[in-house]
Amino acid sequence: MPHFLDLDRTPREDLRAILDTARAMKAARGDRPRGTPDDALPLEGRVVALIFEKPSTRTRISFDVGARQMGATTMVLSGADMQLGHGETVGDTARVLSRYVDLVMIRTFGAEILHEMAEHATVPVINGLTDSSHPCQLMADVMTYEEHRGPIEGARVAWMGDGNNVAQSFLQAAERFGFDMTFSGPEQLDPDPRLMERLRASGRDARIERDPARAVADADLIVTDTWVSMGDAESSRQRRHNLLRPYQVNEALLGAAPESALVMHCLPAHRGEEITDAVLDGPRSVVFDEAENRLHAQKAIMRWCVGA
pLDDT band at 2 (very low <50, low <70, confident <90, very high): very high
**pLDDT of res. 231:** 56
Q: How many Å separate Cα 12 from the centre of its chain?
A: 17
**pLDDT of res. 233:** 59
Q: Tell me, yes or no, if the pTM score tops 0.85.
A: yes
Q: Which residue has the higher pLDDT, 272 or 88?
A: 272
Phi, psi of 129 (to 5 degrees): 155, 140
User: Distance between CA 41 and CA 27 in Å, rounded?
Assistant: 16
* Least confident segment among 13-22, 63-72, 79-88, 119-128: 79-88
For the chain, helix (H) and strand (E) counts, in that order, are 13, 9
Q: What is the DSSP string of 68-80?
A: HHTT-EEEEEEHH
28-to-33, 68, 83, 149, 298 alpha-carbon distances in Å: 13, 16, 39, 21, 16
pLDDT tens for each residue of 17-27: 999 999 999 99
Task: Indicate which residues carry an active-site annotation.
Answer: 107, 134, 137, 225, 266, 294
pLDDT tens for each residue of 126-150: 999 999 999 999 999 999 999 999 9
User: Distance between CA 194 and CA 248 in Å, rounded?
Assistant: 26
**pLDDT of res. 134:** 98
The answer to whether 237 and 174 are in contact (CB under 8 A) is no
Q: Which residue has the higher pLDDT, 75 or 82?
A: 75
Strand ranges of the sheet holding 180-184, from the earlier edge strand across to the other edge: 206-208, 180-184, 156-160, 221-224, 262-265
The answer to whether residue 252 scores a pLDDT higher than 70 is yes
- Rounded to 10°, the helix 135-149/12-29 angle is 70
Q: Which candidate, 43, 10, 7, places its Cα nearest to that of 299?
A: 43
C-beta atoms surrounding 178 within 10 Å: 16
pLDDT tens for each residue of 175-227: 999 999 999 999 999 999 999 999 999 999 999 999 999 999 999 999 999 99
Question: How deeply is 135 buried, as exposed, middle or buried, from its count of CB atoms within 10 A (0-12, 13-18, 19+)?
Answer: buried
The answer to whether 93 and 82 are in contact (CB under 8 A) is yes
36-to-33, 69, 203, 214 alpha-carbon distances in Å: 6, 7, 45, 47
Question: How deeply is 192 buried, as exposed, middle or buried, from its count of CB atoms within 10 A (0-12, 13-18, 19+)?
Answer: middle
H/E segment holding residue 159 = strand 156-160
